[in-house]
A and B are shown apart, each in its own frame.
Chain A
Amino acid sequence: MIYKKMTKNNENRRWSVNSDKIFKALLVGLFLLSAASASPTYSPHKYQQNDWFGEFGEHTSMYVNPAGIAENDQLEVTLGIFRTINGEAGQEYVSLVMPYDYNHAFGFSLFGNGAVIEGGDRYTEMAYQFGYAYRVLHALALGVDLTILQIDQFNVNKQLTMGMDLGLSWNPISNSKLGHIQVGLSLQNALAPGILMTQSSGYGFAVPSLMGIAGTSDDAYYIPTNLNFSVFYRGLNRMLEAKAEVSVIELTKPESEGGKGKNIEQSFTVTYYLSPLLGVRLRFTKEGYPVLGASINVKDVNFFRYLELNLEMSHDDIVEKKNRGFLWSVKLNTRFGPTREESIGERRYRRLKIEPENDYRRAMRYYLNRQFLEASYAFGKVITKYPAFHLVDQAAFYKGKSFENMRMHRAATAVYEEAIKKYPQSDQISKYYFQLMNIDYKDNKYGDATNKYQEIAQKFADTDVKADADYIAGQIKFEQALYQESIDLLAPILPGNANYFYARYTMGIAYSRLGKWDEAEACFKDIIAQPASNKSEVDLQDAAKVKLGHIYFSAEEPNLPEAAALYGQIKVDSHVYDEAQLALGWSFLKVNKPDDALKHAQWIVANMPNSYLISEAHLVEGYAHYMKKDWARAEKALANAESLTEKPIVSQASKDSAQQAFEAMQGEFEEVQDQALDLSRQLPTPRVEKRRADLRPTFDKANKNIDEYATFQQRVLQSDRFEGNRTRVLEDAKFTAATIGTMKGTGSYEGLEDLDDLDDFGDDFDDDF
């Protein structure tokens, strides 16, 4: 088995070596065959097949095959001159080729052909070619050119005509081992230019015909259609170039013109580069002339990226004596400007340079639209894909905030901790530390939050983050009932800071808890005096007005007009509107205006049945009816107040049940967080996108549960806040209802005490602080 394998390997190697030799032998054979079979022919319309041009053209002039220009990778200008030594015949051309992107090339060529006959008369032809080549596949290009011919036959017959050539170019092999092979097939004069036989004063024009077959006119001669087939080879590390060409001249020769048509002509060229700068050439033209030539090139000279000079010579007498003597041609080939690689690279670079910016903006749009899960993935992509992007640290910050906003505190913590390690020099680092403190605060981990606060105070005392950290620390102290410490931390927060309103509000409450009413009043007035810049601050101002109103209401010398004025400023869409309405109700009771008090109390009853103040509204309603001596209504309102306050708004059982459900869900939510974090670190491949989509329902369900729990917790908070009031309202309602009941029992309502003596309304709002 091993022997067979070795033999097979040896055979493969032998074949590989032999194939090289065979290939080179084939080239030599073609060369010799071409040389042997070259024979001179002559046709009066030879310019189209003039092999000097044909060989000149290569791919840059589109002359023989318009598809050939697809091979150009740079802007190229070529100048070519052919002359006979006696100067009687000559051809010139200039050609410009422009590549674009991977697949397109445009070309323009201008050919001049002329000869002088005995007597000094001159024949000239000018051909203007506009061409385009397109790579249908990378290995296959199609080309077309449009030629406008301007012919001046000895100043007697002037013609203007046009034609079209078609071509394809196929590159089946291009590798280092075998070399580069280009196969070309073209149809010259697929649309054959026509030349009018009749003379006219100016330029005559004949409509071109399709291959000289269709659409012909008897008055015109049509330049023949020729089929060209070529094989070009480049190999030996670009040291060798060879080209073989076979042409079928006059593919569709009309019978009327006599002759056989379909003449086969071939040519062969080989160039060997002695060095990268110098090559020597041997050619056999279609007319059978041997041509010797040399090619010199140099790169990067001034603004020319490439300069090549080709010189070729032959002699008329070698094949057929035409008395033209030496024939020589010069071709200058220049390339300048960016290469395809550079142009495509430049466009690609520009696109990619803004790609991180675009991705960052896309992520930010998600964030601002509150699509936080998508935002976390999108910011994650920015971090993973563009580690050198200048906003990558900000992306990390917003990724963490996205998780925070989804209450995924575990994932957010991981993001910030990772960012601290990865971007230690970033100017965002203080924000990472602060967010970690903030998360601990939200999770009620006051000890950890306080430790982090110490670290921030030490490391980032001069940054904006310090004020934010002071605020959170102040809130923690407040939650811990350390009111003076809370005030000390919150006091340095100045107007203009985003937390100023909240800091002042907390200070106001803290001062109130400490019984320092003047200071509390000052804090609330500060809030009211500042212009609010967003909805939260507007809400806070409303709350401050209500609290200030309570201070005026409950003062030793109550200032009811001021209090009422403040309550009256609260708008119906405010979150404290019910509290303001209730306070107004109490105020009007206090000044003996039960009808006005009723209005406000009944508004709460009618419009805010879910308010936690509804029971107290019924109480006010009951008192108002009592003051109006409407006993039946008073009883009814007081009974409502009683029934609503017999139990807490949220029972302990429902709190326990909700807590248990939340804890049970916590485990699942942590798993969701871990998965979301993991997915945010990965690039969005189809597999990752599928996993993200699969996570979505679980995330939505967990999120819904958390939202519901958060809403429930808000209700619990309100319930707890109202607990002190609940007992009072219940007692007051019972007492007043009992009083009315007693009077009903005696059959007389005389002797009922006025409400003025029943309660000191001044104490009503103390519990709100």
Chain B
Amino acid sequence: MRLKTLFTAIITLAIVSQPLMARIINVPGDYNKIGDALGNADAGDTIKVRRGVYNENITLVMGVVLQGADPLTTIIDGGRRGPTVMGTSGAEMSHFTIRNGIEGVLCENAAPYIHHCWIIDNHATGLGAFISLPDVRNNIVYGNRWSGILAWGAKSLDSKIEQNVVLRNGYSGLTLMGPTNIVARNNIFMENHYYGIFADPAAGQTLVEFNNIYRNYYPFNRFIKINRTNVSLDPKFVNASLSKPNFFVAPKSPLVKRGKGKLDIGLLQVDVKLDEEPAPLTND
């Protein structure tokens, strides 16, 4: 009994010793608009957004986590007024559909963490990154008028473009311009109307590995080094139609466990970050 009491006390202490300053802000609830919630959030706060269509253009806030309920039903509609989302370093955004802006997500000298989002049907670039590279993981970048992902002069040792599905964009799936030097791996670039991956001569140092570059107008241009870890295979999505979209690869897809670290190429069901090289195989 005494042990149980002690255990309860320890757990309670662990819970209440969480930083008292970090808040959960609900939208709607505390604020009707996501922009208002961001304007009143401090670093460490989490904004949880319920499903719905939010007609606004927002700017992320450093240290604030912005989380939608579900990417298919929590929608931020940019209304063609400008970028739907302006990135900020140190911010995090996930589980939204970001649509109908001029750019979907625009990061100018900013490196937020964008994951589990649908960046679709924007009227310029889907995700544009200039100078700094955001961490872009597990997103679907679909049907944007220009490039799916554009990185211009972006350099990063920490951030990567990983585990994304980039398809049917008006220009290239991934466009690398200027002295860009990043890592793009475990992505699917498919059916883009120009190149799967396009690089200008200054961006040739980008590491492109373990991607699936399939059925684009052209796969890649001559300035980007594509090694043999990259493949061109039908990903066999669970459901590629937009009425019931599911862009995870099916269990029998050739992309299962084909990526770096034995991960799937494309979206991951369970998020795993490859921060270190995988441990060497042993005889065990």
Q: What residues of chain A have their CB less than 8 Å away from a CB belonging to chain B?
A: 13, 16-17, 73, 102, 137-139, 174-177, 237-238, 276, 299-300, 339-342, 344-346, 348-349, 352-353, 355-356, 384-388, 682-683, 685-687
Contacts and interface: CB of A to CB of B under 8 A. Distances in A.
Nearest to A687: B39
B193 A683 contact: no
Q: Which 3 pairs of residues, A with B, have the shortest CB-CB distance?
A: A176-B143, A138-B80, A175-B121
A299 B217 contact: yes
B109 A345 contact: no
B161 to A, nearest CB: 17
A361 B243 CA distance: 52
A349 B178 contact: yes
20 contacts: A13-B244, A137-B80, A138-B123, A176-B142, A176-B143, A177-B243, A237-B168, A276-B217, A299-B194, A300-B218, A340-B146, A345-B130, A346-B177, A349-B131, A349-B152, A355-B109, A385-B110, A386-B131, A387-B132, A388-B156
Interface in B86-121: 88-90, 99-100, 102, 108-111, 120-121
Nearest to A678: B43
A752 B53 CA distance: 106
A348 B217 contact: no
A276 B120 contact: no
Contact of B146 (A299, A341, A353, A683): A341
A139 B79 CA distance: 10
Given A138-B102, A300-B218, A682-B62, A176 B243 contact: no
A299 B274 CA distance: 36
Contact of A345 (B123, B152, B193): B152
A386 B90 CA distance: 11
A348 B62 contact: no
B247 interface: no
Contacts of A346: 177
B242 A13 contact: no
A94 B130 CA distance: 37
B18 interface: no
A341 B131 contact: no
A685 B39 CA distance: 8
Contacts of A685: 39, 59, 61-62
Given A176-B121, A348-B108, A686-B39, A341 B130 contact: no
B171 interface: yes
A13 B110 CA distance: 39
Given A137-B80, A177-B242, A386-B131, 14 more contacts: A138-B80, A138-B123, A139-B80, A176-B121, A177-B243, A299-B217, A339-B146, A339-B171, A341-B124, A344-B124, A345-B128, A385-B109, A387-B89, A387-B111
B125 interface: yes
Contacts of A13: 243-244
Chain B, interface residues (CB within 8 Å), range? 35 or more
B47 to A, nearest CB: 14
B137 interface: no
B159 to A, nearest CB: 10
Contacts of A349: 130-131, 152-153, 177-178
B147 interface: yes
Nearest to B221: A300
Contacts of B244: 13
A299 B99 CA distance: 28
B123 A341 contact: no
Given A139-B80, A386-B109, A102 B143 contact: no
Nearest to A685: B61
B50 to A, nearest CB: 16
A175 B143 contact: yes
Interface of B: 39-43, 59, 61-63, 80-81, 88-90, 99-100, 102, 108-111, 120-121, 123-125, 128, 130-132, 142-143, 145-147, 150, 152-153, 155-156, 168, 171, 175, 177-178, 191, 193-194, 217-218, 221, 242-244
B125 A341 contact: yes
Given A174-B123, A176-B168, A237-B191, A17 B243 contact: yes
B42 to A, nearest CB: 8
A299 B171 CA distance: 11
Contacts of A353: 131, 153
A686 B168 CA distance: 38
Contacts of B125: 341
A674 to B, nearest CB: 13
Contacts of A276: 193, 217
Contact of B62 (A137, A139, A356, A384): A384
Contacts of B80: 137-139
A176 B168 CA distance: 9
Contacts of B124: 102, 340-341, 344
Nearest to B194: A299
B102 A102 contact: yes
Nearest to B128: A345
Contact of B89 (A238, A299, A352, A385): A385
A139 B145 CA distance: 13
Contacts of A687: 39-42
Contacts of A137: 80
A340 B130 CA distance: 16
Contacts of A16: 243
A352 B109 contact: yes
Contacts of A300: 218, 221
B192 to A, nearest CB: 10
Question: Which residue, of B42, B109, B128, has the highest number of chain A Cβ atoms within 10 A?
Answer: B109
Contacts of A17: 243
B243 A388 contact: no
Contacts of B142: 176
B183 to A, nearest CB: 15
B171 A341 contact: yes
B90 to A, nearest CB: 7
A345 B177 contact: yes
Contacts of B88: 683
Question: Which residue, of B40, B89, B110, B131, has the highest number of chain A Cβ atoms within 10 A?
Answer: B131
A345 B130 CA distance: 8
Question: Which residue, of A13, A17, A300, has the highest number of chain B Cβ atoms within 10 A?
Answer: A300
Contact of B109 (A175, A342, A356): A356
A385 B61 CA distance: 12
Given A102-B124, A299-B194, A685-B61, A176 B131 contact: no
Contacts of A174: 121, 123, 145
Contact of A341 (B42, B147, B168): B147
Contact of A352 (B41, B131, B155, B218): B131
Nearest to B142: A176
